[in-house]
Amino acid sequence: MEKRQNFKHPKKGSKIEIEPIRKEKDIKSVLQLLSDKPRDLLLFAMGINNGIRVGDLLQIRVRDVRYLKSGQVHQIIESKAKKKNVVVINKSVRKALDKYLSDGDHKEDMDYLFQSRKGDNSPLSVQSVHGLIKKWTSAINLKGNYGTHTLRKTWGYHQRVKFGVGFDVIAKRYNHSDPKTTMDYLGIKDKDVDTVLMNEIG
């Protein structure tokens, strides 16, 4: 029997790069899109403001963040790296969290923050979040390839491009072994860094 080719799957040896959301107007468009979906709005806000893996976000329970004020953190152990890291509650996240916790659907402290709709108190799956992100970016007509790493990469991209944070600092947040790994992860090439040599001093 002739083997069918799966056109949705990359060819063996090829690599599909997941992209960050590079433009602030597109970030605002997604936030607007999710304004009436408190759970998804919080997921997006926490993802782009923290830079940790989606799988680690999904393990957070309501009790972990319910009483945190803006500027406070919740400590986690990363599932992949097995290293300590933190989830930061900044003003944007706290605003989305307040909206989610007051949406009329009572949430117990032991509930997963990002519960699935199955009704068995299980968190969303990474695969489900992957589908949600593709749905959101498609809904605002964003061209490119997006998925779970989009949230993590969006944080790093804007820390570097908008705020000028050094690759060494971003690498530490990502638990990358060196800044070059972070450059590759964010799709920032050597030529982009070379442009700083045109900045005149003196």
Active site residue 53: yes
Q: Annotated catalytic residue: which of 153, 158, 160, 176?
A: 176
Please tell me the distance from the alpha carbon of residue 115 to that of residue 107, in angstroms, as a whole number: 10
Given the residues 39, 61, 152, 153, the one annotated as active site: 152
- State the Cα–Cα distance between residues 202 and 194, nearest whole angstrom: 19
Q: How far apart are CA 152 and CA 43, in angstroms?
A: 12
Q: Which residues of 148-169 are buried (b: 16+ CB within 10 A; e: fewer)?
A: bbbbbbbbbbbbbeeeeeebee
Closest CA to 30 of 175, 167, 137: 137
Active-site entry in 53, 158, 160, 173? 53
Choice among 146, 157, 174, 185 that is catalytic: 185
Catalytic one of 8, 15, 80, 83? 80
Q: Which residue has tokens 């659907």?
A: 105
Separation between Cα atoms, residue 176 and residue 168, nearest integer Å = 9
149 is a catalytic site residue: yes
DSSP character at residue 18: P
Q: Is 80 an active-site residue?
A: yes
Catalytic one among 39, 61, 100, 149?
Answer: 149
Which of the residues are catalytic?
Answer: 53, 80, 149, 152, 176, 185
